[in-house]
Amino acid sequence: MITKNIFVIIFLLNVNHLCLQAQVNQEWVVFYDGLRSIDEPAGLAIDASGNIFVTGKSKVNSNEDFLTIKYNNSGETQWIQRYNGPGNNSDYPGAIALDGAGNVYVTGGSTQLNAKLDFATIKYSASGVQMWLQSYGGTGEFGSSATSIATYGSGIVYITGSTYNTGTSYDQTTIKYNSLGSRVWVQKKNGPINLDDQANALTTDNAGNVYVAGHISNSGQNTYDYSIIKYSSNGNELWSRYYNGTSDGFDYGYAVAVDNSGNVIITGVSYDIISNYDIATVKYSSSGTLLWSKRYDAYYGSDLGYSVVTDDFLNVYVSGRSKGVDTESDMTIIKYNSSGDQQWVKRINGTANGNDFVYSMVKDSFNNIYVTGAVNGTGTLTDIVTIKYSGEGNELWNVSFNGISNGDDIPVAVRLDGNNNVIVTGKSYSDSTDFDYVTIKYSQTVGVNTISNQIPDKNHLGQNYPNPFNPGTLINYELRMTSDVKLKVYDVIGNEVSTLVNEKQNAGSYEAEFDGSGLASGVYYYKLEAGGFVQTRSMVLVK
């Protein structure tokens, strides 16, 4: 019998704040080490109560198991579930998702009795009880592994990845399970030249349609193109589209998002004979019509788009890495408007001029963007850096994490809980335990951000944006001199519903965030008082 020594350390570390103002605080850090060997997270999810779920692989001797942990919002371990497949060999989790009841779904690849990897999908209850386990494999001699998962409605689960099948090599394979774990349908996509086809990302829309992104063997030159497939909820392929880059080279799609109008955006890496590999981002309408494609290349080298999100105004944010002129790759974030026009680019280069990379990105209800990535520091190897930007590209805060042994710290995902706390998970190296899971919780002062310290000509209260809004909106105001400031929100009959600011503030420009989640639709008023200045404006909440 193998003795499994498991220990969890909650350890508060010093963290380097590079903030415009004191807006972010590290609440806690929790490490997990299974057997003083390699433990690496693969995914992160958060429920409505702020409980945190992390899944990944944890090595036992020379083999890896699925290892899923639930923490409460204080970082205390609630349960740990380890899964070793029937082949008693390596198992590789790829993704995690929750449903509305708090059930947990983990998927990846698991070694079977025939020594091949098959899809393995596990459902746990919120209390950690395994409710079902389903496997699925291809017909060929090689293994299969799931890469992405999404839930919909009452326990419906979609997973995607690639299975190896006789005569067609690897095919994109997407499966729907119902809440009891019964397989509802399977769809496979094989490219026209029977080479390896890979599904990397999956998402759903409000109507229950399913979108699968990856790459497909679609060229006589034995190269690959982006692929995006839209399935209905009953598994019918509604359309599929392929993007072949400028030089008929290798094009790999890594991430997909659907905006509020049902448009579909895919990003990844695309080869160009002149500029090498570029970040290519492509947008399709809900019916599959190509709307635009954009390429980003700052300097000849290898660039890659790894994450994509959209905001309430149909803007598109892409993040990943890009080669610099005098650096290796930099963390890179690009904003496009709904028409594909580039709005801004942010690049982050660590002090060691090494390879820096954005691994994950998320948006809040105010259309602020959060990215987490790995940055090479001087004397600290790779650190986890997490940054918050406004939609206009202003850096609101920037925080880094360096683990216990100054080793490599590499993130996997960033997510927000219901109180806009920021959760980051990844792996952290320790001299005594090798790589461990690390999960970090940051709290932030959500409310007022300093936009500029320049002194304006006069006091001013701007119109909120967006307006109408649901549920978050931003209110800009300017102060000509240091003043006691009050910014309050009232309903239509004059009852105060929220105090956004009640403090002394220096001269400058500010942005206040208002969240109307708990309010009914209707007209509201906000009033600024600063010294002898008073101004009121109206805004409309529409749910």
Show Cβ contacts of residue 117 under 8 Å, excluding neighbours closer than 6 positions: 90, 92, 109, 110, 111, 137, 143, 144, 145
State residue 540 phi and psi, 5-degree precision.
-125, 125
- According to DSSP, the residues that pair with 234 across neighbouring strands are none
The rounded distance, in Å, linking the Cα atoms of 164 and 63 is 22
**Domain housing 535:** 449-541
Residue 497 pLDDT exceeds 60: yes
What single DSSP character describes residue 341? -
State residue 149 phi and psi, 5-degree precision.
-145, 150
CATH number at residue 491: 2.60.40.1930
Has residue 251 been placed in a domain? Answer: no
Amino acid at 295: R
40 close to 463: Cβ distance less than 8 angstroms: no
Q: What's the rounded mean pLDDT across residues 461-470?
A: 94
The rounded distance, in Å, linking the Cα atoms of 504 and 497 is 21
pLDDT tens digits, one per residue of 292-317: 999 999 888 899 999 999 999 999 99
Summary mean pLDDT of the chain: 91
Show Cβ contacts of residue 102 under 8 Å, excluding neighbours closer than 6 positions: 47, 48, 49, 51, 125, 126
Sheet holding 16-17, edge to edge: 16-17, 395-401, 381-389, 369-377, 357-363
DSSP of 155-209, one letter per residue? TEEEEEEEEEETTTEEEEEEEEE-TTS-EEEEEEE--TT----EEEEEEE-TT--
Please indicate whether residue 324 or residue 16 has the higher confidence score (pLDDT). 324
**CB-CB neighbours of 315 under 10 Å:** 20
The rounded distance, in Å, linking the Cα atoms of 369 and 346 is 12
pLDDT tens digits, one per residue of 72-114: 999 999 999 999 999 999 999 999 999 999 999 999 999 999 9
The rounded distance, in Å, linking the Cα atoms of 340 and 332 is 17
Has residue 234 been placed in a domain? Answer: no
**CB-CB neighbours of 339 under 10 Å:** 10
The rounded distance, in Å, linking the Cα atoms of 78 and 87 is 28
Has residue 413 been placed in a domain? Answer: no
Has residue 297 been placed in a domain? Answer: no
Has residue 119 been placed in a domain? Answer: no
Supply 77's token pair: 């371990």
**Cis peptide bond prior to 471, omega within 30° of 0:** yes
User: Residue 180: CA atoms inside 13 Å, Cβ hemisphere, count?
Assistant: 2
- According to DSSP, the residues that pair with 305 across neighbouring strands are 320
Has residue 416 been placed in a domain? Answer: no
Supply 12's token pair: 């508060």
Q: What's the rounded mean pLDDT across residues 351-364?
A: 94
Has residue 363 been placed in a domain? Answer: no
pTM: 0.85
Residue 22 pLDDT exceeds 80: no
Residue 324 pLDDT exceeds 90: no
Supply 313's token pair: 């105004």
First to last CA, the chain: 57
174: nearest Cα among 93, 227, 231: 231
Q: What's the rounded mean pLDDT across residues 321-330?
A: 90
pLDDT tens digits, one per residue of 112-152: 999 999 999 999 999 999 999 999 999 988 999 999 999 99
What single DSSP character describes residue 480? S
pLDDT tens digits, one per residue of 30-55: 999 987 789 999 999 999 999 999 99
pLDDT of 13:
36
Specify the residue for token string 């102060």. Answer: 479
Residue 246 pLDDT exceeds 90: no
H or E element at residue 148: strand 145-152
Q: What's the rounded mean pLDDT across residues 242-249?
A: 89
Per-residue pLDDT band for 20 (boundaries 50, 70, 90) equals very low
The rounded distance, in Å, linking the Cα atoms of 251 and 261 is 26
Show Cβ contacts of residue 166 under 8 Å, excluding neighbours closer than 6 positions: 139, 140, 141
The rounded distance, in Å, linking the Cα atoms of 40 and 136 is 24
**DSSP-derived 3-state class of residue 390:** coil
Number of domains present in the structure of the chain: 1
Helix then strand then coil, in percent of the chain rounded to 5, is 0, 60, 40
Please indicate whether residue 75 or residue 354 has the higher confidence score (pLDDT). 75
170 close to 117: Cβ distance less than 8 angstroms: no
pLDDT of 9:
38
Has residue 490 been placed in a domain? Answer: yes
